[in-house]
Every structure is written in C-alpha cells, then in structure tokens.
C-alpha cells in the first residue's frame, strides 16, 4: 500500500494554509496589537492553530482585519529529537516547555496544544480554560498493505511502530510475540516509514488524520474495546496568561463545555495516578444521556498485567469522578507497581516491549 506521502504533506498543509499571503503580517496594518498564537510547526499543530484562528475570526469581527492575528511557530525539544522515545527524553512536557516560556515571556498571547501532550500541571501564571469541540478520540490502525484490519489478526512476530507505551502495552496484551519499536516524527514521517517497509503496521490518533484530511490512510478505526485511547486524545486546548484579560475574553468564547468536562475528568484521573511516560495509562470520558461515563486502565509496559476501571455520574462532578477512578486503580495496583515503574530505567522498559 502506497501512501504518496509527499502529496499528502502538500495537500494537508495547503488545506490549512493561511488565507492571507503570509501567516506573519505587518502589525502596523492593524490598529491594536495583534493576537499572537503560539504553536509547534508540525502540519498537525499548524492545522490546529489555523482552526483556532478561524474560530476566533468567526466570533470576533475585529480579528478578521489584516494583521489582527499572528501565527508564531516555535520549535520544541520534542520536535527536534526524534531518535529517542519520549520516556528516554523525560516526558511529554517536551512538547510544551518552549511554548510555556514564550507565553510567560510575553512573546505570544495564547498557545494551542494537543491536550494529550499537556502535562497535568501548568506553569504558575498560566491557565488553560478552553477546549475546542472534540474530534473522534479513537486510534486508527494502519497496515502496510491494508490486508489486516485488526491487531489480533497480525501474524506472530509482526513489527508495529509506535512511540506510545499505552498502545504498546495494549498491543502486547493481545499478542506478546508482537514487537513494538520506537516510531516518532510527524504523521507524514511515520507514514513514509510504513511505506518504506520499516514496520508492518502503526497506530495514530484518527483525530489528527481527520484534521489534515488524511483519514483515508486508516485501514480501520479501533473502538474502545480494542484500544482504549489516551487521556485527552482528540482535544485541542488553548492556554494563556492568567492576568491577560483580552486573551481570556477571546478564548472563553471558543470553549466547548462538554469537551472540557470530559477532558477535566480524564486529566484528574491521570493526576491521581501521578502518571509519567514510564507508565502505560489510558483514560476516556463520554457524555451519554446527560451523564458522564469514564473508562480507565493502567498496565505493565509488556502488557502482562493490566488494571481497568469504569465510573459514571453527573457532568458537574467530572473532575471528582476522574480523581476517584485514579485513586481506585492506584490502590488496586499497590505501591509496588508504581515503585517498579519509577525504578526501571528507560532501557529496561524498552527491553520489555521490544523483546
């Protein structure tokens, strides 16, 4: 199966390219200071920044003026070092640190994030009060030639590319002969590696593929019973300084209450577990018939041990529901489970999942 990645890269970026001649315009053309949006430079990150800009312009006529909004692209350490796993580099905060610095240094006014990349703690002086309407939260399974639709149907000893311990643990729980190898880079880079035969299959968030008009690459979309998604997967968050009244006014108008309630529930679950990149953790919440329904799990990196939980309740109690679910799993797994995760070196964990 050929993905024609060069074409996809060009088309996905073009689909979200600025309508103005340049993302950076002369602020002198705009009477007030421009609203500066900080973002990573990957095609997906830019698609999310342009989506945010579009929504701001739909809500606020003054932001439709030329130069009213400026897209500021920042490189993060997580984007620059691709030959190591996130666990080896120190965690997913690697995708947000440079954005945090720019925000606190008044170099940008708001930052647009994939919420699954945002640590449960935020730097003092910043808030994240806004989530855009959530995309599909599930994982896409992408096979090299499309002939295999499910993880369970992969031949023994197949190689799957993924940088996620959450995915690796659930994959190996299905078939411990499968081999998971570190697979990082933007969506286009990963698809190119798949096309080159480096791995037999990979998994990506279907949300990201949809946002770049690339969901046709998916061989299948896995439901929650096949692969429980990551905390906050499919959600976009917007962060600003806590004393910036102008930015707070703008992004408050974009907040989607149901998405925020579900994301708050999931992030409370993660916070209760004190999750890090050595611990495979999954957690998802949905609002069904006015109630919030949550499912979560933690596992050993090799999938040999897994603890699961579910809960439901009032939407207003979203954070408390997530917190209690995390505390329950923490008690069931016991202190030894988490102590072992902390004590294991990245090499030991990777050794388990790439055997």
Residues annotated as catalytic (active site), given as ranges: 117
Helix (H/G/I), strand (E/B), else coil: 178: coil
For residue 269, give Cα distances in angstroms to 302, 321, 326, 329. 22, 8, 5, 9
CA–CA gap between residue 238 and residue 261 (Å, rounded): 15
CB-count exposure of residue 174 (10 Å: 0-12, 13-18, 19+):
middle
Helix (H/G/I), strand (E/B), else coil: 113: strand
CA–CA gap between residue 223 and residue 221 (Å, rounded): 7
CB 33 within 8 A of CB 233: no
CB 295 within 8 A of CB 306: no
CA–CA gap between residue 165 and residue 188 (Å, rounded): 21
CA–CA gap between residue 85 and residue 208 (Å, rounded): 20
């Amino acid at each position: 199966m050929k993905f024609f990645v060069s074409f996809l890269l060009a088309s996905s970026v073009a689909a979200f390219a600025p309508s103005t001649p340049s993302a950076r315009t002369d602020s002198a053309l705009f009477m007030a200071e421009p609203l500066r949006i900080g973002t990573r430079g990957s095609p997906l990150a830019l698609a999310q920044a342009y989506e945010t800009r579009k929504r701001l312009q739909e809500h606020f006529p003054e932001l439709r003026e030329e130069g009213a909004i400026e897209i500021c692209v920042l490189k993060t350490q997580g984007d620059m070092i691709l030959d190591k796993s996130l666990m080896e580099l120190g965690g997913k905060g690697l995708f947000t640190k440079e954005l945090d610095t720019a925000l606190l240094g008044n170099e940008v006014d708001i930052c647009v994030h994939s919420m699954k990349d945002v640590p449960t703690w935020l730097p003092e002086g910043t808030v994240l009060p806004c989530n855009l309407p959530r995309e599909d939260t599930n994982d896409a399974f992408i096979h090299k030639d499309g002939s295999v639709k499910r993880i369970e149907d992969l031949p023994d000893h197949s190689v799957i590319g993924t940088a996620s311990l959450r995915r690796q643990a659930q994959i190996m729980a299905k078939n411990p002969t499968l081999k998971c190898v570190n697979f990082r880079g933007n969506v286009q880079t990963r698809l190119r590696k798949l096309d080159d035969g480096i791995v037999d299959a990979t998994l990506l968030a279907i949300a990201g593929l949809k946002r770049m008009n690339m969901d046709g690459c998916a061989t299948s979309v896995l439901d929650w019973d096949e692969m429980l998604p990551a905390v906050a997967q499919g959600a976009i968050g917007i962060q600003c300084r806590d004393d910036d009244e102008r930015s707070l006014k703008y992004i408050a108008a974009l907040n989607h209450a149901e998405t925020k309630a579900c994301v708050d529930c999931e992030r409370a679950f993660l916070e209760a577990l004190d999750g890090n990149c050595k611990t495979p953790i999954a957690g998802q919440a949905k609002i069904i018939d006015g109630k919030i329904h949550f499912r979560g799990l933690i596992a050993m990196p090799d999938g040999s041990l897994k603890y699961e939980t579910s809960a439901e309740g009032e939407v207003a109690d979203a954070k408390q529901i997530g917190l209690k679910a995390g505390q329950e799993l923490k008690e069931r797994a016991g202190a030894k489970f988490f102590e072992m995760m902390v004590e294991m070196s990245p090499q030991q964990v990777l050794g388990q999942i790439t055997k």
